[in-house]
Every structure is written in C-alpha cells, then in structure tokens.
Structure 1
Amino acid sequence: MDMMEQAAALKERLVAFALSPRFARELDRAFQLSDPDGLVEDEATASMIVDHFALQHRLASGDTVIDAFLRTHPDLSPQEQALLLSWKDVVEGIFEVRGKDQEALTLFNLVDELVYRARSNMGMSALHTIDEGMFLICRLVPLGDGWMISADISVLPADARDEMFSQAAEVGLRKPALVFRNQEKLATARRLLAKQREVFIDLYGAEYVVVPTDQLRSRLDAFWRALMDRAQPGAPPRDAEPDEPTDAETVAIHFDPETGISLYFDFGLLQELFANPSLIGRRRYRETLSSYLRSDDISPAAIRLLTGPDPDNASVVFGKLLKKKNFSWPEHGESLLRRYKARYFETPPLPTTVPVSDTMARHLRERPA
C-alpha cells in the first residue's frame, strides 16, 4: 500500500469515527456554530464542516477527534500515528489552479500566497473537469513532501477571479493565522507592528491608555491619523473597534507588542480594585474581574497589565476571588492564566495587522465599486 492509499484508508476511518454516536452532540454543535440558520445544503460546505470537526475542532474534553482516535486505536503503526498528527496542520484557502499533470494539481493560495502541489485520494480522474485558471475553495493536509485534498471542494470558473480575490482578502483579515503560514508575511507584519507601536507610544506616552468610553472613537481616530501622517502601510481598518458597551465607563486601549490594538472595557474599574483590594467585596468589582478571568475574548495581557503595578495587591485580590488564602500572584499567577486562558498559550500570538501584497492591493483598488 503506497502512502496515498494508506492516507485514504486512514482518513475514511477517521471521518467514520468523527461521525459516530459518541460525538453526535458536539458535531451538531459544530454545525450550529458554522451554520447558525441551519441552511447548509451544499455538499462541499457540509463536508468541510465535518472535516474541520475531525481534524481541528477542540472537544469539550480539550482533545481533538484525532487525539481520541489515536487513544482508541493503539494498534496503529508509528507511520500512521505520525500521519494523523500531521493532519492537524490544515491549509485552508482559495486556490488558483496554476498547473496540472498526471499526479497532482499545482495550486496558488490567494490567502497566504504560497504554492501547493496537491493530490486527491480519489485519483486525478476525480479532478478531470478542473483546468488551469480555475479556482478551488478547499482544505489541504500534509502528505509526504506534498499535500492531499481533504474534504470536498468547491470549483469556480476562471472568470470568478474578481470575486475570489475579494473573498481571499476578507478571509485574510478575518483569519490572520491563515495568512501567516507564509513566514515572509509574518515577518513583514511584525515589522509593521513594531513601527505602529512606536507611533502609539509617541502619541499616548505608554503602550496603553485608559479613557472614558465615550472617548474611544476619537482616541482611535487620532491614532489612525498619526499612522497616516507617517505613511504607515497596513494600518488596521478604522472601523475595527466593536460597539461600545453601554454600561462600561472606561476602556483601556492597549497596543500589545505581539498582536496590536486590543480594547479592555471597564479597565478603570479594575485598576481601582487592584489599588484597593478591599473592593473585591463589592459585587460589581468581583463580577468584572471574574469576567476578565473567564472570558475567552480577553487576553492574558489585560490581567498582566492590572497585576503588574502591585503584585502583592494582586495576590490579595485573587486570593479573595478564588477563596485561596495562600494564593501568591508571583508564584501562582502564570499557572492561573494558563488554566483560564489556555487557547492563548496553545499557539504563538499573531499580529492583527495583515500585510497586503502588491497584486492583492492592485486588485482591490481596481475592482468595481
């Protein structure tokens, strides 16, 4: 059995395992999150949801389906185990077909601007209708020195080029991690981020500023203008900030050196708490801190900013919040963050500034309004 045959058989077993009753509830939930209106009818879309669930979805236990499959199939060979684990490294994108031979397609990913040589586990006969210049929306997984098409694909004609470039730009802004598979783009983004951070600190005197919530838009506008004055390319879109919560009195605008602009609402309230730990007895302070700790949308950086000025006060505050008399922020703080903010530690933080190539920028400028 060659590698492709082995991969095809293994993938079939993995998908059957993912579709088994033991995961039915979590798979239903995955479909609801991907298709909240329950309107998935396209076979390729449904196949991609199942594929993501089988390869990447984080189960309630913290594992992936691949992890569970490996545990329940200890008889797999080392090669099969390694192949399965490699499939966690999925490439998603919108691909232009640049070439085709008897064994594989040569695909250019409009999202990360890298070239992939991809094969189908059903053979090239399954791709006989695909010609150079067409576009594919699909997922790829590693296979030896190349890649294997994973799940069904959506095929679009060459004259859909404008639509595909626009969609690729939107995907890149929404999911920067897909763009940063390209290490050159990641390096460029980090250089841009460092320059933008200099502008922010020059403007506000520090890497974060706490302001009344009604000043948020004007403060961000001032930053965007400062970036434009220095002709910084790749500036974040001016409408990137979320709607202002009506009950938040303050907001911290933080320029994280690794990711870029983050907003932390009610930050001023928590600054009061860490300056005066006795306030933890008040419900509003306690619930706000608990929300910061438990929310998956608030970075560990926010809590580090709060605890940094006075670690002793931080020990008292968290000791009372967690009802742990001997809690020490210097000793236990990092493990606490890793427990409640696990996803931030699973992968390296990435910039939110996404550099746009000359080709993509030219297309976006020239597309019809």
Structure 2
Amino acid sequence: MATTTIPVSDISIDDLLERAVELKSELVAFGQGPRFARRLDAVLYEAADDDGFLDEGTAILAMDYFLLQRRLSDGRTVLERFVAQRRPPLADDEREMLLGWHDVVEGCFEVRRFDGDAVLLHNLVDDLVYRVYSNMGREGLAKVRAGMFVVGRIVPLHPATDAWMVSGTYSPFPKSARRQIAAAAAQQLTTHPELLRRNPAMLRKAWEIQAEHRADFIEQVGADLVVLPPHEAQETLREHYRRQRQRALAKLDTRAAKRAAKAGPAPEQLALLPEDMLEADSVALIYDEVEGLNHYRDFGHLDALFADPALARDRTYLTLLREYLKDESVAPLAIHRLVQRHPDNVDRIFRALLRKPGFTWSRDGEDLLRRHKKAFFDSEPTPSISTVGERLAELLRAR
C-alpha cells in the first residue's frame, strides 16, 4: 500500500519541532556510541579549559559541534552517517530536515521580541534577524527577554521553512553586557570573515573595501608583492594601516573622528608581524585580489631559487620550499606567486625537490598543491576584511 507524503508546508511548526526533538535524541545516542568514542573524547578534551574542567554548557556545545560539523576520517559528519545508516530509513522530508542542520549559525544575538513561541534574534555578526524556536517550547526560552543578548548556535528547523531552532544550548546576557557582546561579535567577525556569506550585501561591501585597500597598498609600494627585510616589512604594514585609518576617520564627523581616534592603539604602536617573523632573512608582503594581505617568511630565498635553479644544489633552499609545500597553514598563494614570477624554471625546481624527472607544473602542479593543502581548495573564497552591520557599529561606537 502506497504511503502519502504530506508537504512540509502543511505540517505545523509544533509537529516539526516534535519530530526534530525525537530525531535529535536519536542522533545524540548514535554519536555517543562506541564507534565514535575516541573521536568524541578528543573533541571534549579540546573544549576543556587548561585545568581539564568542562562545564555542562560547554560540553553540550562541543557535542553539538561534533555531531553536526566535525568531519570524520571519511570526510562525512556523524549526522551524515546517521542519516545514511538509520533503520528504518528516514522519510525524504526527515532526511532534508536533518541534513539542513549542517547550516549552523553561531552568533551573538540581540533579542528583538517574542512572536508566539518564537523569539526574533538579531545576529550582530551577519546583521540578519532569525525567527528561533526552542525544542523545549516556550519554556526553553524562559530566561530570555527583549533587549537582552544571547550567545549560541541555531540551525534551520527545516529548509522548507523560515524557522530556526536552538542547537545545543545558549547563554543569555543582560542589556548591561552590550559592550562585552559587541566586542565578542567584532572579534568573531575579525577571526571568521566567512560568516558574512549569509548576508550578500555585507559580503559584497567587504570585497569592495578589500579592493580599495589593495589599490592603496599598490599605490604605496608600487606592486601587490614586495620582498623586504623584516623590520621594513613591519613599517610598511604600519604605514598601510595608518593610511586606512586616516581614510576611515576622514569619513566621520569631527566628534566621531576624535572618539574613534582614541578608541585603540595607533598603527605605529602595533606589532603587526609575529616575533619569529622579525628574525627572518626576508618577508614577502602579498596583497592578493582574492586572498587579501598576507606575509611569508624567508620568501626572498625561494624567489632567488626560482630565479636561479642552480641554487637547488644547496639543500637549504629545497628544504625551505618543502616546508612551504607541506605546511598546511601556508596558503597555495605563495607557491602560485613563485610560479608566476619564474615560469621558465618551475619544472626544474620541482623535479629536484620531488626527485621526479617527469614532473611538469602544467600537468602536475595543481594536483600537488591540492594533495598537500586540501583545506584551501575545499573552502569558498572570502574577503580577508570584515564589515559590520549598523547595529553592531552602533554598539561598538558606544563602547
């Protein structure tokens, strides 16, 4: 006998929440099973403080991250494993619901108001408003009041609706914590500019600002790549940020400009390069159109190697190139730029490095980079500069 599928649009939010609670409970039990014990223990260990203490709220959030976002050895999440292996198999709309939970939004939210059992939360990070439910009903939001702040995680209740659901737990903060919350939101944006993806207008503005800063950098140094002694690189960066600061202050009225000028240390007071970078022989500053402003240690040695492949006889040059290639924290950009600057010598250099006389960059180069720097190729490009929404800007000015 054929079963009848009810369109999600015809299912009430209460029914969707009830089903979400049941499936989340099953997912948690699945993730706590013996097959994932070692990986889960590692995640909880990472979440603990320096003394090894892990409070309940932090443990819940770590567990939620492990279930929905942590990639396992096969590249899948626990959630994807659960959806694939659950017996009896999930209905299509249930699969869609669960897989939609990959779309986690972590944010610092300002509570706008309640609307029935839902609360409208304005995310200060991406400047969007979310209609959020608790899987415990209105009781789960009992600590929340309009004007307060909430830090936590939310996921779509179902991709076919505009409703969201608290995932894991959340931390409420009073109105008086607005300065602390604004600082946390700004730090989150600075550390993770990819969070702007949810707001196309803010993302577009960030790309525009990055392009302006890059043009100014090129005007300052004459190119988008410059190789300098470390302390000169430091001063070049300070001058670049001083110019950007002056441009920003010029757009403000006199009183706002005075307040902003006193808000933090001047660029000339900042140590913009890590201490170990200042001990290098040279530093390359590259302001790429996509990847933004980056700096690379001892780039001058590699540039000399690619200009004169005979230097490969000195193993220290190849050792440095090998470090660039195998260090997962070093973006492919550095090697791409070396290849662009010295295209005629690339094959000779990599044949010596890899001891593969048949290697050719045009055929094998990208595969080589993808093998060693997979994370850079798996992620969508985002600007290195973040913009803030009007409300966060207002809170930061008050701060």
Task: Give TM-score, length-normalised by structure 2.
Answer: 0.84
State the AA in 2 paired with 1:243. Answer: E
Preserved CA contact (<8 Å) 1:311 1:330: no
Match of 1:349 in 2: 381
Out of 239, 244, 247, the residue aligned to residue 227 of structure 1 is 244
Q: Partner residue of 1:129? A: 143
1:262-298 Cα shifts (integer Å, max 9, x gaps)? 1111111111222233434433222221221122221
| Aligned partners of 2:47 and 2:59 also within 8 Å | no
Q: Which has the higher contact order (CA 8 A, sep 6+)?
A: 2
Specify every segment of 5 or more residues in structure 2 that has no aligned partner in the other structure, as ranges: 1-10, 252-259, 261-265
- In the alignment, does 2:284 pair up with 1:267? no
Q: Check whether the contact 2:113–2:119 (CA below 8 A) recurs between aligned residues.
A: yes
Q: 2:393 is matched with which residue: 342, 361, 366?
A: 361
- Residue 8 of structure 1 corresponds to which residue in structure 2? 21
| Counterpart for residue 209 of structure 1 | 226
Farther off after superposition, 45-54 or 76-85: 76-85
Q: SS in structure 2 opposite 1:245?
A: helix
1:259 Cα deviation after fit: 3.0
Taking a change above 3 Å as real, the CA distance of residues 70 and 243 of structure 1, as seen in their structure-2 partners, is farther
Residue pair 2:324, 2:330 contacting (<8 A) in 1 also: yes
Letter in 2 for 1:364: L
1:155 matched to 2:168? The reply is: no
Structure-2 residue corresponding to 1:310: 342
Q: Does 1:191 align with 2:205?
A: no
Change (3 A) 1:316 1:20: farther
CA gap of 1:175–1:320, structure 2 versus 1, over 3 A, is same
- Matched residues in 2 for 1:177 and 1:91: separation? 12
**1:30 deviation in Å?**
2.3
Larger mean CA deviation between 240-249 and 189-198 belongs to 240-249
**Structure 2 residue 72 is the aligned partner of structure 1 residue 59:** yes
> Which deviations, in whole Å up to 9, do the C-alpha atoms of 1:183-219 show, x marking residues without a partner?
1111111110111111011112211111112322111
Q: Secondary structure of 2:59's match? A: helix
Q: Which residue does the alignment assign to 1:24?
A: 37
The 8 Å contact of residues 125 and 195 in structure 2, kept in 1 or not, is answered as yes
Taking the aligned partners of 1:300 and 1:246, their CA distance within structure 2 comes to: 22
Distance across 2 between alignment mates of 1:281 and 1:92 = 51
The within-5 A match list for 1:244-263 is 244-245=276-277, 247-263=279-295
Please, which of 179, 185, 189 is the counterpart of residue 172 of structure 1? 189
Aligned partners of 1:58, 1:242: CA distance in 2, in Å? 30
Check whether the contact 2:143–2:172 (CA below 8 A) recurs between aligned residues. no
Residue 323 (structure 1) aligned with residue 337 (structure 2): no
CA contact (8 A) 1:274 1:306 kept: yes
> How far 1:347 sits from its partner (Å)?
2.2
Q: One-letter code of the match for 1:354?
A: S
1:139 corresponds to which residue?
Answer: 153
Q: Which residue does 2:97 correspond to in 1?
A: 83
Q: Which letter does structure 1 place at the counterpart of 2:165?
A: M
Contact kept? 1:271, 1:306, Cα under 8 Å = yes
Q: Is the partner of 2:147 in helix, strand or coil?
A: coil
Aligned to 1:285: 317
The question of whether the paired residues in 2 share the 8 Å contact of 1:56 and 1:88 is answered with: yes
Aligned counterparts of 2:372 and 2:82: Cα–Cα separation in 1: 26
Among candidates 111, 116, 120, match of residue 102 of structure 1: 116
Aligned residue among 86, 90, 96 for 1:73: 86
Computing the radius of gyration over CA atoms, which structure comes out larger, 1 or 2?
2
Question: How far off its partner does 1:342 sit?
Answer: 1.4
Q: Which amino acid aligns with 2:239?
A: A
Deviation for aligned residue 1:181: 2.1
Q: Note the C-alpha offset of 1:309.
A: 2.5
Normalized against structure 1, the TM-score is what? Answer: 0.90
